[in-house]
Amino acid sequence: METSGLDIMMQAVFWGMVGLTVAGAWIAVFPRNILYNVLGLALALTGIGALFVCLGSPFIGLMQLLIYVGAVCIAIVFAIMLSRPMHLEVPPWPPSKLAMGVVASTVFFVAAVSLALKTDWTPSPDRVSDTSLWSVEKIGEALLTRYELVFEVISLVLLVAIIGAVITAGFSRRLSP
Amino acid sequence: MNNLSTYLIISALLFSLGLQGILLRRNLIGMLISVELLLNAANLNFMAFNRFLNADPVAGQVIALFVMGLAAAEAAIGLSIILALFRTMHSINIERAQKLRG
Amino acid sequence: MGAFLGDPILLATVLGTNLPFISMAAVLLFTAPNPALSSKISVAAIAAGAVCSIFLLAVLHGGSPVVYRTLWFNSGNLDISFGYYLDSLSLLMLAIVGVIACLVQIYSLGYMAGDPGYSRYFAFQSLFAWAMMNMVVAGSLIQLFIFWEMVGLASYFLIGFYYEKWSASQAGKKAFVMNRVGDVGFFLGLIWLLIGFGSLGIPELNHAADANALPQGLLTVSALLIFCGVVGKSAQFPLLTWLPDAMEGPTPVSALLHSATMVAAGVYMFGRIFPFFAASPDAMAVALAIGTVTMLLSSTMAMVTYDLKQVWAYSTVSQLGMMVMALAAGGYFAGVFHLTTHAGFKALLFLCSGIFIHQFHTNDMRIIGKQGGRRLVIPMACIAVGALALSGVFPFSGFFSKEAVLAVLAAQPSRIWLAAGLLGAVMTAYYSFRLIFHILLPRGGIEEKRHDAHAHRYHEHEGERRGYIFWAMAIPVIVLAGVTLALGFFEHPIEHFLVNSNTVQPALHPAHGTGAQVDGGGAPLTIMGISAGLFGILLAWFEYGRKGADRKGFLSYFPAIWKLFDSRWFLDAFYRRSLDLFVYGGLTNLFTRNDRRVIDGGIDGICFFTESGGRLFSFLQSGMLQYNLLLMVLAVGGAVLYLLM
């Protein structure tokens, strides 16, 4: 495959996004200040949104920004403010726990990577590579026809979650002993 | 860049970092953040499979959307649990929430 | 239902055999607190049963066998059917059971009066009557076996009726266990037969045996195994010692179960599948030998005991042995006829003894004699009738049946069986009249004073009630005495009924040993039989009856033999010893060890393991989410890696 300048730029952008994601994830996990974590999460989610765009689905990328960065991260910031945990600067992790976590996640990482590399991924034979099918209209149509039941179930789940959240957070004073 | 394995490895890396966070953090909010990372890693996998393998390209995107919806619900519930826990225990340190200790 | 009601035979069979069960259920469930009502229900039910059985006997007299049968279940190619088989033998036996059970229950109204377990007693009596009647009419061996076991259960309940008495509960257990020993063999025989022949229907089996359709090996093995059941139930050697112990039960129970009907069930079953047994000469030879040994052994035991009921118990065993001998010698009619007459006169003997026991509160014949047993004229006369019948004296029923048995034995090629039979007859007469003379002619006269006091009490205080009780007991006794006197003259009608109406069973007409042989056997045999009985009676008279007799018995000159007979030939000691040695010493020890070491140790080990495992895992179950997650992740990762390798 011939590498043009555009390709090189695209590649640079892609790897830049990958780096952004991984760095954001790193920040979201390791620093002990909770506010840094949230900001790192926002960074990582943005990078993942960019990767979605690279995967050919700008709609999902936008939704990622909207839902995750715009809603979930803001909600987490609110939770931090309400529960004031950031003043309670935690002591460093005990080495044993750190070691265990590292070992477990390394094992998992190795397992997942080897799974990804060893499997012989074959595309579906009747796969359509027509990118016009990736449009928002198609998604909307599918959501309201073929996936309608799932759509309604997920809205029900969201409703239940909201009511549950209100109950748990709002009435827990009354419910708890 | 544009092959499946790259995305899968990135996703595995994100997932492992999320796991690390879940296993390490004492702060419930920190754990919640890590769970978000895990979900996104899974989402990335869905989108990658959708892009490279799947017959109907709509399905993967729809599933990603649903995962986002579930993540939102999970975040809402998780955060309210955090608030409730903070009220009753005046702490969100997961290591102190040991009422299930055997 | 319409067909059911429209068929009086089926209706009578079902009703007659099952009413006692209803009465048992009613008594146990509802009327137990009201003894009078309970006894009335029970007696009414068994009276209905007796009427039904006599009705059946009258209606089906001389006809061919009636078979009712429905499929119970089938498994593979085995069809297990359930139904009734009414032929002459079962009709006769049904009538015997019904009538004697009815008489005994009427008798019990008096005998058991005032007993705290009155309702319970009648419930168990009804249970017995139900099981026994159903056993008699059973159409297949498996059905017969089921009710056979029910009869054993009822026997256990009734032997251990005075369960607060240690010896009674022990006797119940002993009877139960010894019966089971025999029944195991019976059941194995049934299974063997079922596998080899494929059906347990009684008519099929007899037909096949008649037609020589059964291979000889199968026949002999299964016949011998089934004969084990006879040995257990009819108290044959070597399982004979439970029956004397079973006398711990109330006397009417002894009369009904342990002499007249239940123990005769073994003989009945022998007769039921007689063609089957007859087809196997080896099994018949074994049965003949066992019957002979049983008869002689138990007669000797009866010669030394002073316990009224024990004498009759040993006598029952010996008469059962005689029936088995008769059947095993090929005398179908002789065996069954002896069973019939024996049921009558042995019930009579027991019921009379029961009156004495009830009156004098002792089982010892010497004490009863001294306290004036002979003043009770009715039972005294009736017991004499019974004893004469048992000894085989002419006009009484025992004479005819014993002659028939001796005729069958005489037809055997070897003379030894006849000799044994005659010896048994002598001993039978001897011990019967030893008992009679003890009561009738007590040594040193009657102790008048005690008797007067007794009679005083008897007449003045409890007059009417005692009168009711006495007559409730006396009437059945008189009826039975009448039957004993009359039954013998019906030998030929019964023989005709039993043998000739059974056109389907040619094996019942063997070349040797039916009743025809009685006439053919001729006068010498009759004279031998009568003289054997008379010799026994004279011997008893010489030793116990005549004035100045030393009343010791010739056996007392041989203390060793006396001791041998008195301790039942050490059979019980042998059982006890072998029980101690093998069961308690060997198996029990082994099981105890197994229990202590293996099972207890195992449980302890499991407990220890569980506890320490719990401790181990409770360390993991710290309530800390992250450790749980850690393990989970490690497990999943490890599994993936393992599968990829």
In chain B, % of residues over pLDDT 70: 86
Among the candidates C537, C566, C595, a domain finishes at C566
Return the DSSP state at C572: H
Residues C593-630 have pLDDT tens digits of: 887 878 888 888 888 888 888 777 776 666 566 777 78
pLDDT of residue B2 exceeding 90, the answer is: no
User: Average pLDDT for residues C205-215, to the nearest whole number?
Assistant: 80
pLDDT of residue C432 exceeding 70, the answer is: yes
- Among B19, B23, B98, select the one facing C623 at the smallest CB separation: B98
Greatest mean pLDDT among A10-14, A38-42, C64-68, C221-225: A38-42
User: Average pLDDT for residues A147-169, to the nearest whole number?
Assistant: 85
| Domain assignment present for A45 | yes
| Domain assignment present for A23 | yes
Q: How many CB pairs under 8 A join A and B?
A: 243
Domain count, chain A: 2
Are C590 and C507 within one domain? Answer: no
State which residues form the domain around A36: 1-89
Find residues 82-101 of chain B whose CB sits inside 8 Å of chain A. Answer: 82-84, 86-88, 91-93
pLDDT of residue C512: 40
State which residues form the domain around B12: 4-96
- For residues A76 and A41, the answer to whether their CB atoms sit within 8 Å is yes
**A contact test, residue of B37, B46, B88 with most A CBs within 10 A:** B37
- Best CA proximity match to A143, nearest among A63, A65, A51, A66: A63
pLDDT of residue C231: 87
- Pairwise CA distance, residues C255 & C382, whole Å: 14
User: Average pLDDT for residues A131-147, to the nearest whole number?
Assistant: 77
A111 vs C: CB within 8 A: yes
Per-residue confidence band for C458, with pLDDT thresholds at 50, 70 and 90: very low
pLDDT of residue C500 exceeding 70, the answer is: no
B85 vs C: CB within 8 A: no
In chain C, % of residues over pLDDT 70: 87
pLDDT of residue A44 exceeding 90, the answer is: yes
Are C150 and C282 within one domain? Answer: yes
Neighbour count for residue A130 (Cβ, 10 Å): 8
Domain count, chain C: 2
Instruction: Locate the chain C residue with the closest alpha carbon to A97.
Output: C627
Residues 6+ apart with CB under 8 A from C96: C260, C261, C339, C340, C343, C344
Q: Do B75 and A72 touch (CB under 8 A)?
A: yes
- For residues C241 and C178, the answer to whether their CB atoms sit within 8 Å is yes
- Best CA proximity match to C435, nearest among C378, C356, C528, C347: C356
Are C609 and C550 within one domain? Answer: no
pLDDT of residue C514: 42
Are C580 and C560 within one domain? Answer: no
- Among B23, B97, B102, select the one facing C629 at the smallest CB separation: B23
User: Average pLDDT for residues C406-430, to the nearest whole number?
Assistant: 84
Greatest mean pLDDT among B4-18, B57-71, C414-428, C563-577: B4-18
Residues C300-343 have pLDDT tens digits of: 888 888 888 888 888 888 888 888 888 888 888 888 888 888 88
Please, which chains are in contact with C (at least 3 CB pairs closer than 8 A)? Answer: A, B
H/E stretch holding A162 reads helix A148-170
Are C584 and C554 within one domain? Answer: no
User: Average pLDDT for residues C112-119, to the nearest whole number?
Assistant: 81
User: Average pLDDT for residues C9-15, to the nearest whole number?
Assistant: 82
Instruction: Indicate if ipTM > 0.90.
Output: no
C638 vs A: CB within 8 A: yes
Return the DSSP state at B25: -
pLDDT of residue C503: 43
- For Cα atoms B7, B53, B66, give the angle at the middle one, nearest 5 degrees: 75
Residue C84 three-state SS: strand
Are A81 and A155 within one domain? Answer: no
- Pairwise CA distance, residues C615 & C619, whole Å: 6
| Domain assignment present for A6 | yes
In chain C, % of residues over pLDDT 90: 0
Residues in chain A within 8 Å Cβ distance of C637: 104, 107-108, 110-111
- Pairwise CA distance, residues C87 & C57, whole Å: 9
Are C488 and C623 within one domain? Answer: no
State which residues form the domain around C512: 2-449+460-566
pLDDT of residue C413 exceeding 50, the answer is: yes
**A contact test, residue of C634, C643, C645 with most A CBs within 10 A:** C634
- Among A76, A121, A164, select the one facing B77 at the smallest CB separation: A164
Please, which chains are in contact with A (at least 3 CB pairs closer than 8 A)? Answer: B, C
Neighbour count for residue C503 (Cβ, 10 Å): 10
**Three-state secondary structure readout of C475-491:** HHHHHHHHHHHHHHHHH
Q: How many CB pairs under 8 A join B and C?
A: 30
Residues in chain A within 8 Å Cβ distance of B33: 28-29, 37-38, 41, 76
pLDDT of residue B71 exceeding 80, the answer is: yes
| Neighbour-count burial for C328-354, b at 16+ CB within 10 Å, e otherwise | bbbbbbbbbbbbbbbbbbbbbbbbbbb
Are C536 and C578 within one domain? Answer: no
Among the candidates A73, A89, A105, a domain finishes at A89
Q: Do A108 and C644 touch (CB under 8 A)?
A: no
Among the candidates C509, C535, C566, a domain finishes at C566
Are C268 and C320 within one domain? Answer: yes
pLDDT of residue C511: 40
Residues in chain B within 8 Å Cβ distance of C624: 94-95, 98, 101
The CATH code of the domain that includes A74 is 1.20.120.1200
Residues C362-386 have pLDDT tens digits of: 778 777 777 777 777 777 888 888 8
pLDDT of residue C27: 86
**B contact test, residue of A3, A7, A20, A51 with most B CBs within 10 A:** A51
Answering whether pTM is above 0.80, one says no
Are C67 and C194 within one domain? Answer: yes
User: Average pLDDT for residues A74-94, to the nearest whole number?
Assistant: 73
| Domain assignment present for C296 | yes
Domain count, chain B: 1
pLDDT of residue C317: 87
| Domain assignment present for C193 | yes
The CATH code of the domain that includes B71 is 1.10.287.3510
Alpha helices by DSSP H, C273-331: 274-278, 281-302, 308-328
Neighbour count for residue A167 (Cβ, 10 Å): 14
Kindly report the average pLDDT of chain C as a whole number.
79
A101 vs C: CB within 8 A: yes
Are C510 and C598 within one domain? Answer: no
Please, which chains are in contact with B (at least 3 CB pairs closer than 8 A)? Answer: A, C
Per-residue confidence band for C435, with pLDDT thresholds at 50, 70 and 90: confident
Q: Which residue has the tokens 């001791």?
A: C563
Alpha helices by DSSP H, C361-415: 365-370, 377-391, 397-410
Per-residue confidence band for C456, with pLDDT thresholds at 50, 70 and 90: very low
Residues B13-54 have pLDDT tens digits of: 999 999 888 888 877 888 888 999 999 999 999 988 888 887
Among the candidates C511, C544, C566, a domain finishes at C566
User: Average pLDDT for residues C567-576, to the nearest whole number?
Assistant: 74
Are C204 and C230 within one domain? Answer: yes
| Domain assignment present for B102 | no
A109: distance to nearest CA of chain C, Å?
A: 8
The torsion angles phi and psi of A146, rounded to 5 degrees, stand at -75, -35
Residues in chain B within 8 Å Cβ distance of C618: 102
Residues C541-557 have pLDDT tens digits of: 777 777 666 666 676 67
| Domain assignment present for C455 | no
pLDDT of residue B3: 81
B102: distance to nearest CA of chain A, Å?
A: 20
Instruction: Locate the chain B residue with the closest alpha carbon to A39.
Output: B33
Residues in chain C within 8 Å Cβ distance of B17: none
